[in-house]
Amino acid sequence: MRAFNAELSKLFSLPSIWLAFLIGAFAPAVIAALDSTAQKEKIIAGVSTRLSEVGYIGLGLGVQGVIILGVLAVSSEYLTESSESGGGNQITTSLTVVSSRFHFLLAKASAVTVISILLSVVAILTTVSATNLILGEYAPAFEASRLIGAVCYWIFTALLAFGITVLTKNGIIPLAVLIINSSVVTVSYLLAKVTKLAFYLPDKAGVDMFMFTSDSFHTPFKGGLIMFAWVAVLFIVAAIVFHRRDVTS
């Protein structure tokens, strides 16, 4: 528990984390608002084919915020300080204090999970109110089961970012890969056109938890299970690698 509190305090004191909070909390609402405005006429005319996902698209794209969170939580530990202030690494200090590597990883992952849940709840609140404000009575129904799916999607994505960064120790690659892959036209989407196997990629399966588009491949529950399996496997690999590895090399 003390390690968990320490991890929370470390996360909150990172300067870049505010970027994650800002993006996670408000970008979904902005995107949903823009999309609602663009779709409003079509919806009123009754010709919109995307009514069921208008608000949710913000939640799908706003996951960027927790990606930054998950990556920063790990990569900040590996930043080398300048040679003038000793050239130290935070990870060395962290592992001196919490000497069980497994506990350290667990505490960090729990801190990331808790913040992701908070962020996704805030994001849902802002998104739902923005959509309702613009679309009024035409706003899509926000069912609890789909919103829970969105929260799960955010948590799993944050943990994926976390796990990949434990392996790479550097934030650049996971940030680039994950930001691009959760953008408007994802690589997985393109791959899905080439092979059916791409539907089993974590992001493609995870989106099925709350976006019911025409090309949905899995049921929400199955999509969640597939994404969870990815997260679990990644965590086992990350934990083993982290356990066996020399601290900074």
Partner 1 sequence: MSVSSSRKITLILGAELEKLVTLPLVWLTLMGTFILNLVLAAAFTSAGLQGAAGTQSILKIGLASMGYLQAGFIILGILATCSEYTGGQIRTTLTTIPWRGFQLFTKHLALAIVTIPMAFIIAASGVLYAFIMMKDTALVIEIDAMIKTLVGATSYLTLTTLLSAAIGALLRRTTPALVVLLGHYFIVSPLLKDFLPSIKNYFPDTAGYYMFMPPSSDEINVLTPMQGTGVSMLWTLIIITVAIVFFRKRDA
Binding site for partner 1 (CB under 8 A): 16, 19, 23, 31, 34-35, 37-38, 61, 64, 68, 71-72, 75, 79-84, 87, 170-173, 175-176, 179-180, 183-185, 187, 190-191, 193-194
Least gap, CB of 88 to partner 1 (angstroms): 11
Least gap, CB of 97 to partner 1 (angstroms): 24
Residue with smaller CB distance to partner 1, 88 or 106: 88
Residue with smaller CB distance to partner 1, 10 or 101: 10
Q: Look up residue 200 and give its amino acid.
A: Y
Residue with smaller CB distance to partner 1, 85 or 99: 85
- 3-class secondary structure, 140: coil
Q: What does 49-79 look like in DSSP terms, one character per residue?
A: S-GGGTTHHHHHHTTHHHHHHHHHHHHHHHP
**Number of other residues whose CB lies within 10 A of the CB of residue 50:** 15
Least gap, CB of 78 to partner 1 (angstroms): 11
Residue with smaller CB distance to partner 1, 122 or 187: 187
- 3-class secondary structure, 100: coil
**How far is it, in rounded angstroms, from Cα 9 to Cα 202?**
30
**Number of other residues whose CB lies within 10 A of the CB of residue 151:** 20
Count CA atoms closer than 13 A to 91's CA, side-chain side. Answer: 19
Least gap, CB of 152 to partner 1 (angstroms): 22
Residue with smaller CB distance to partner 1, 118 or 180: 180
Residue with smaller CB distance to partner 1, 78 or 142: 78
Least gap, CB of 177 to partner 1 (angstroms): 9
Least gap, CB of 89 to partner 1 (angstroms): 11
* CB-CB contact of 54 with 29 (8 Å): no
Return the residue matching tokens 């944050």.
158
| Residue 111, both tokens | 């801190």
